[in-house]
Amino acid sequence: MSNDARTQQEDAYLALQSTDEFQALRKKFRGFVFPMTGFFLAWYFLYVLLSIFAPGFMGQKVAGNITIGLLFGLGQFVTTFAITFIYARWANRELDPMAERLGARLDAPKEV
């Protein structure tokens, strides 16, 4: 790809990036991802802090050798998979159609 073609492609992307539609896409993405990340980090740090400052609580047996700490740890994996599943469904429904429309504008043949 020549430098001229690359510059034209970069200019087209920068022009698309400044549109209201692109900004709406970014806002929608951030509106989902930032709160979900905050939730997961709070949940993770709760687990870590309880492990450090409440070992008696985390060591309480629930059934057999299964402790509350073990359930919290397994809950981290369950939460990770759930967030991934929720995001994939949400993105397919909400984000991808908007992104595809913007991508089609970027890929459309340009008039010279």
Written as tens digits, the pLDDT of the chain (112 aa) is: 666 666 777 888 888 899 999 999 999 999 999 999 999 999 999 999 999 999 999 999 999 999 999 999 999 999 999 999 999 999 999 999 999 999 898 887 665 5
On whether the CB atoms of residues 28 and 94 are closer than 8 A, the answer is yes
Given this model, what pLDDT does residue 105 score? 86
Tell me whether residue 50 is in a domain. yes
Strands (E), the chain: 61-63, 66-67
Tell me whether residue 112 is in a domain. no
Tell me whether residue 57 is in a domain. yes
- Domains identified in the chain, total number: 1
Domain residues for the domain of 81 are 3-107
Question: What residues contact residue 50 under an 8 Å CB cut-off, 6+ apart?
Answer: 57, 58, 69, 72
Tell me whether residue 33 is in a domain. yes
Tell me whether residue 100 is in a domain. yes
- pTM comes to 0.79
Given this model, what pLDDT does residue 5 score? 63
Given this model, what pLDDT does residue 108 score? 75
